[in-house]
């Protein structure tokens, strides 16, 4: 893999740095399948998952629901860009919604039985 550079795109950031970390944490990275229900994505990080605010880079699905969302940014933007975007809470009744910039945990799904 290429080392990080200012010229890497968001897609490269996802493929080179995020996919492997999600997989190492127990998530299977899969593309969105048109017509599939969220229950079909057990322990999956679904790419380009459609939400009311546009597609999420990854939706973490488990137990028939979205339990988290991962948004990638190209390396040139840096982490503060994402924190500024998430600093304004949005009203939501969804348990997967993120309020402010408090989403600093990385959830690892339990092992299969």
| pLDDT tens-place string over residues 103-112 | 444 455 555 5
* Residue 100 is assigned to a structural domain of this protein: no
* Residue 2 is assigned to a structural domain of this protein: no
* Residue 89 is assigned to a structural domain of this protein: no
Eight-class DSSP state of 87: S
| CA pair distance 40, 62, nearest whole angstrom | 9
* Residue 113 is assigned to a structural domain of this protein: no
* Residue 37 is assigned to a structural domain of this protein: yes
Give the pLDDT confidence of 41-80 residue by residue, as tens digits: 999 999 999 988 889 999 999 999 999 999 887 766 655 5
Q: pTM (2 decimals)?
A: 0.63
* Residue 94 is assigned to a structural domain of this protein: no
| % of the chain with per-residue pLDDT over 90 | 42
Task: Give the domain range for residue 70.
Answer: 10-84
| CA pair distance 85, 91, nearest whole angstrom | 15
The domain total for the chain is 1
Q: What is the pLDDT of residue 37?
A: 94
- How large is the average pLDDT for residues 31-44? 95
Q: How far is CA 103 from CA 6, 71, 81, 98, in A?
A: 26, 11, 15, 6
Q: What is the pLDDT of residue 2?
A: 55
* Residue 97 is assigned to a structural domain of this protein: no
* Residue 58 is assigned to a structural domain of this protein: yes
Write the DSSP assignment of 39-82 as a string of letters: GG-TTEEEEEE--TTS-EEEEEEETTEEEEEE----TTTHHHHH
| % of the chain with per-residue pLDDT over 70 | 58
């Amino acid at each position: 893999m290429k080392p990080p550079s200012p010229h890497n795109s968001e897609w490269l950031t996802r493929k080179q740095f995020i996919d492997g970390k999600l997989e190492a944490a127990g998530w299977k990275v899969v593309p969105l399948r048109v017509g599939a229900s969220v229950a079909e994505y057990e322990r999956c990080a679904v790419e380009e998952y459609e939400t009311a605010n546009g597609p999420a880079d990854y939706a973490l699905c488990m137990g028939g629901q979205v339990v988290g969302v991962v948004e990638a940014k190209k390396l040139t933007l840096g982490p503060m860009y994402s924190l500024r975007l998430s600093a304004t809470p949005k009203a939501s009744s969804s348990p997967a919604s993120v309020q402010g910039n408090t989403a600093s945990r990385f959830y690892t799904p339990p092992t299969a039985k």
